[in-house]
């Protein structure tokens, strides 16, 4: 039903999807898990000084950055394809925080490509911690889009 009182209609469909399921929502669990785990792995290296944790952090940082870029491409395609997503302030806030997160994630990975152990204290730990905060804010705003604004949840025939 059309919401005349609300300049931004409630709910949108998804255009970047597999069989009606939003691709972005399917991809985001991977960078979220990797980017949180790299902080835990950095803390483990700081505590035990076992090179295993430095290698683990290197792979987690790389996986988080690359999967984050894949998820970001799907999210950006959705943003560009659906006008009613572009009309929501929460969508742009989410986009800005996500781009900051991906920049921090790439820097955190690049830093470790030389000497994975030397990179951890202090800069690696700082970037991993900042990544966790940005994951939290980006995830919160993404959740706001889905659960409050009902972005990507309507079927094609329900759309205005
Ligand atoms: C870089 C550009 C990005 C854009 C333009 C973007 C856009 C969007 C959009 C439009 C939605 C609504 C659901 C949909 O239509 O698929 C969404 C949801 C979400 N996004 Fe992003 N996103 C980006 C990156 C990221 C990143 C890097 C993360 C986290 C690592 C993230 C986490 C989330 C989460 C957790 C949701 C809620 C998904 C759900 O529960 O279904 N996004 N995003």
Sequence-distant (≥ 6) Cβ neighbours of residue 25 within 8 angstroms:
146, 152
Does 12 fall in a domain? Answer: no
Predicted pLDDT at 158: 67
Per-residue pLDDT tens over the stretch 87-132: 999 999 999 999 999 999 999 999 999 999 999 999 999 999 999 9
For residue 7, being part of any structural domain is answered with: no
Domain count, the chain: 1
Residue 5: inside a domain: no
- Is 4 inside a domain boundary? no
Q: What is the pLDDT of residues 33-78, one digit of tens each?
A: 999 999 999 999 999 999 999 999 999 999 999 999 999 999 999 9
48 lies in a domain?
Answer: yes
pLDDT of residue 154: 84
How many C-beta neighbours within 10 Å does residue 34 have?
23
Assess whether the C-beta atom of 105 lies below 6 angstroms from ligand 1.
Answer: no
Distance 73 CA to ligand 1 centre (A): 10
For 106, the domain range is 27-158
Is there a domain that residue 79 lies in? yes
Is residue 103 a part of any domain in this protein? yes
Element (DSSP H or E) covering residue 40:
helix 29-48
Cβ–Cβ under 8 Å, residues 150 and 12: yes
Q: Which two tokens stand for residue 123?
A: 């800069």
Pocket mutation for ligand 1, best pick of 142, 143, 153 (most atoms within 8 Å of C-beta): 142
What SS3 state is found at 12? coil
Q: Is 64 in the pocket of ligand 1 (CB under 6 A)?
A: no
- 152 CA closest ligand 1 atom index: 15
CA distance 127 to 135: 12
């Amino acid at each position: 039903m059309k919401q005349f009182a609300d300049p931004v209609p409630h709910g949108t469909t998804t255009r970047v999807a597999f069989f009606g399921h939003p691709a972005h929502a399917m991809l985001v669990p991977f960078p979220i898990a990797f980017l949180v785990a790299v902080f835990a792995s950095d803390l483990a290296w700081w505590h035990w000084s076992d090179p295993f944790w430095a290698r683990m952090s290197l792979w987690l940082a790389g996986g988080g950055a690359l999967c984050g870029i894949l998820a970001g491409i799907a999210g950006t395609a959705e943003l560009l394809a659906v006008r009613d997503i572009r009309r929501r302030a929460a969508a742009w806030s989410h986009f800005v925080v996500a781009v900051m997160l991906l920049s921090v994630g790439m820097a955190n990975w690049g830093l470790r490509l030389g000497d994975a152990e030397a990179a951890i204290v202090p800069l690696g730990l700082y970037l991993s911690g900042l990544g966790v905060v940005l994951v939290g804010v980006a995830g919160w705003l993404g959740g706001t889009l889905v659960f409050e604004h009902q972005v990507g949840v309507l079927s094609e025939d329900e759309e205005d």
